[in-house]
Structure 1
Amino acid sequence: MTDIAYAWSALGGDPALLPRVSTVVREGALQGRLPVRELARACVGSCALAAAELGARRTGRADVPAVRVDDGAVATAFVSERHLLVDGRAPVTFAPLSRFWRTADGWVRTHANYPHHRARLLSALEVPEDVAAVEAALAGRRALEVEEAVYAAGGLAVALRTPEEWTSHEQGAAVAARPLVERERLDSAPARILAPIDGTPALPAAGLRVLDLTRVIAGPVATRTLALLGADVLRVDAPHLPEPADAHADTGFGKRSTTLDLAADRGTFEELLAAADVVVTGYRPGALDRFGLSPRALAERRPGVVVAQLSAWGAYGPWSGRRGFDSLVQVATGVATTEGSVREPGALPAQALDHGTGYLLAAAVLRALTEQSYEGGARVVRLALARTARWLTGGDGVSGAGPAPHEVEGASYGGPGSWLAETDSGLGRLRYARSPVSFEGGPADWARSPGPWGADAARWG
């Protein structure tokens, strides 16, 4: 089974639609020891096919529009945060304390981009905010000891593991027992009536309201894609947890951004929920349940809703309550040792777990909407970065080798070139990566550029 067929099957898609997908192959794109290019191509291709399928349903087309996946567009989009320029300035992607560190018996990777995570890391190590001090503190401690101490303090640090060590770990076993895309029907709500769409370009998600409760890359990539496809996406953040400006500029295309205290502004939040068609969450499993945001609680209040949940480690196993990011999942699951070694860990050519899972999450939402239009029922879909990592590392028996269906040979990937664009925005002049999600008659770009974080009213457009 090819990667695209595997991803499409995991989404519940009809295999008869796979011939609608063609691929422009560009050697040199997303090069690594692991089949990153194949995984990225499959995630984007399945997302585009899900969009085309929903578009055909809403336009009344008898056939599903053709999908074209270009390795160049995919490779450019998977490092969109690196291509971003804001008034000519390159973004800052990792803070000084977010990196690999040597320990007494190996390596550990920390994540301290957010101020509260940085403070908890320093508190756990009992050192000042100084690279040399952190380096000295970690050099004298065992990696697993650091991992446990920092997590106990609410920070983020993960010890380097080999693929074999992750497979034998309790969390690794829990991840392996779950499907790539978890899909569940929650109620017997009637079939969703989708208004017909027409015009150019075709926007499969037009008229749908998406409440975006995600952060960083994977979740925002998913909602950015739904916005491309016509959804009214409103991102909601807590006022005391601002998103880094560059991350917001990269993933804020097509959306509006507001802030709400979910406890103090409960009435406003409930009004948003009452009109939402899709709710996407990217916080730790269970973290939002106290606000009535568990899938079943949402389905009770909003029959027929689609709930999409994203996590780092999965909503199961001993690490289900832990925070995590792409870079840390690479370290825990053995990706970093495969791309480097136990002596000198490496990294993927892109934050492919984030980006890939983001496109898969958007695809899962689109497929849920299509299924609802026939069968009804509120739906929940769940994905985890660690589960995507298992697929990438061959744990699902999908090799990534061999040709993709309907390949078209292209030139070698020589850089981002025509897959970059520029626009004016409320944040300044932006250079950005175009979306790689492409199908016949579909949108080529977002309808709006990002504005300042939290500047929009807490209401639907």
Structure 2
Amino acid sequence: MTSSGVTGTGVPGSGVTGTEFAWAALGGAPHLVSRVSAVARDGALDSRLPVRELARACVGACALAGAELAARRSGRRAGREVPRVRVDDGAVATAFVSERHLLVDGRAPVTFAPLSRFWRTADGWVRTHANYPHHRARLLRALGLPADGSAEASVDAVGAALVERSAVDVESAVGAAGGLAVALRTPEEWAAHEQGAAVARRGLLERGWLDSSAVRVLAPLAGDPLLPAAGLRVLDLTRVIAGPVATRTLALLGADVLRVDPPGLPELADQHADTGFGKRSATLDLTTDRRAFEELLASADVVVTGYRPGALDPFGLTAQALAERRPGIVVAQLSAWGAYGPWGGRRGFDSLVQVATGIAAFEGSEERPGALPAQALDHGTGYLLAAAVLRAVTEQLDEGGTRFARLALAQTAAWLVNGVGGGERRPPGASQADSYDGPEPWLTEAGSGLGRLRYALPPVSFAGGPADWSRPPGPWGEDAARWS
């Protein structure tokens, strides 16, 4: 395996903006960053850590990757001809909490379940994640509690059980049972942890090539708007937020995105609606429907995976196996902790990565841990993942090769803790607009098979590009497992 990925600590150099750093990590030509402009808005994603800068950089790099591919497919190669990118803090801040803004027939979304929260332990704090029924059952089983009690009784029982145990003991016991619980750590404690040290040795992302297969050929773009991913078939094997945000963005830019889930593991309804724009949703059991899956794979251009590292390996879905079966494909892989180190095979979510990496301690107080104003690790990594796919396709048009990209929420967290772009609230050349007074300018409504939806508009924007998705989400698993 050959890699051209950016390596090192992931710490921005002096005077480097977040967008410049992200674009360099994606392998983009430095001069193209001049095509990006920003509209800064005070009050957007306010926090102690530079969340606004991270969000702006991830969206800006993604939009630039789309604009670059659009220019390449339109026969324009010079940097001055790449469409201009405009990143508005208001649009970005609204999109980074899109799951909170979604309304289905006027109903507010269900977000975190009662057992997904911070808990006091005998020596500190632990955070659990139990939004899915199977994760809730594993948490309760690990603590020796019945899984059939009421939500209120379960909260009381879990609280009583955890206050008697150490945070690290809970983390270990629940993790061993396949559940999700992470002890609160400071940034210094995470740096001293073996997994934290392994993450620190990596860059923001890893990318490269697996073989020297033929140059990709795509039809020239025509029509309005410019859809740089038109003609690409994206097999979406992701769940929750980061991966679906990436594939939702590729769908915005014209890709035919088919999300495939196991039939016995339904997605949370509101979560699926929020991240399902532009996509179709099908179910397949990879243990019994292998022929149907192989037919999908045989004509896929991109495979995006977001399951725990190793979980899909038995189905021949490692990057190397995919390269052998489908030369010229782009393989984009996402994980919580990275596919390396002692936590390489561990489950994880944004909220838990915030707790482990010191973010929750930094954002909290002496009395209680805190949290970022958005699930910014999920959303930010999602836009970076989409950007990595777009850049890989652009490179294939000139150089060919089966390409891969690997990202991890923990690596994005390291970038945030290390300052992104020096913590600049207003990047050079940004125009200063009014403060961020609410999401209304960046919300819209549409009918769907799920009901009337209010939702956040996409923040990825470049001159001539799309302003909204071509189709609303439908019910989970309702589509046939075949390409359009």
Amino acid at match of 1:439: F
Match of 2:470 among 447, 454, 457: 447
> CA contact under 8 A between 1:21 and 1:405: conserved in structure 2?
no
In the alignment, structure 1 residue 459 sits paired with structure 2 residue 482: yes
In 1, Cα distance between equivalents of 2:445 and 2:429: 32
1:248 maps to which residue? Answer: 272
- 1:60-459 aligned at under 5 Å gives the runs 60-61=75-76, 62=78, 63-128=81-146, 129=149, 130-341=154-365, 343-394=367-418, 398-401=421-424, 403-459=426-482
> CA contact under 8 A between 1:106 and 1:342: conserved in structure 2?
no
Amino acid at match of 1:59: S
2:42 maps to which residue? Answer: 27
> CA contact under 8 A between 1:250 and 1:432: conserved in structure 2?
yes
Amino acid at match of 1:43: C
Amino acid at match of 2:452: R
* Matched position secondary structure for 1:183: strand
Unaligned runs of 5+ in 2: 1-15
> CA contact under 8 A between 2:66 and 2:228: conserved in structure 1?
yes
Cα displacement string for residues 394-440 of structure 1 (whole angstroms, at most 9, x for unaligned residues): 177x4222642420111100000110010000100000000000000
Cα displacement string for residues 117-159 of structure 1 (whole angstroms, at most 9, x for unaligned residues): 0000000001134110000000100000000000001100000
In 2, Cα distance between equivalents of 1:379 and 1:358: 18
> CA contact under 8 A between 1:19 and 1:405: conserved in structure 2?
no
> CA contact under 8 A between 1:189 and 1:303: conserved in structure 2?
yes
The 1:224/1:156 distance shift into structure 2, 3 A limit, reads: same
> CA contact under 8 A between 2:53 and 2:425: conserved in structure 1?
no
The 1:395/1:321 distance shift into structure 2, 3 A limit, reads: farther
* Matched position secondary structure for 1:205: coil
CA shift, 1:322, in A, is 0.3
> CA contact under 8 A between 1:29 and 1:71: conserved in structure 2?
yes
Match of 1:13 among 25, 28, 39: 28
* Matched position secondary structure for 1:279: strand
Cα displacement string for residues 156-206 of structure 1 (whole angstroms, at most 9, x for unaligned residues): 000000000000000000001111110120011011112101110000000
In 1, Cα distance between equivalents of 2:419 and 2:54: 13
> CA contact under 8 A between 2:40 and 2:426: conserved in structure 1?
no
TM-score scaled by length of structure 1:
0.99
Cα displacement string for residues 248-268 of structure 1 (whole angstroms, at most 9, x for unaligned residues): 000000000000000100000
| Percent identity of paired positions between Structure 1 and Structure 2 | 77
Unaligned runs of 5+ in 1: none
In 2, Cα distance between equivalents of 1:165 and 1:409: 38
Amino acid at match of 2:380: G
Amino acid at match of 2:277: F
* Runs of 4+ deviating beyond 4 Å: none
Amino acid at match of 1:408: S
2:59 maps to which residue? Answer: 44
* Matched position secondary structure for 1:458: coil
In 2, Cα distance between equivalents of 1:140 and 1:84: 39
> CA contact under 8 A between 1:304 and 1:377: conserved in structure 2?
yes
CA shift, 1:342, in A, is 5.2
In 2, Cα distance between equivalents of 1:296 and 1:447: 33
TM-score scaled by length of structure 2:
0.94
Match of 1:55 among 62, 66, 70: 70
**What's the Cα RMSD here?**
0.9
Amino acid at match of 1:79: V
> CA contact under 8 A between 1:19 and 1:406: conserved in structure 2?
no
* Matched position secondary structure for 2:447: strand
In 2, Cα distance between equivalents of 1:395 and 1:414: 25
In 2, Cα distance between equivalents of 1:403 and 1:351: 22
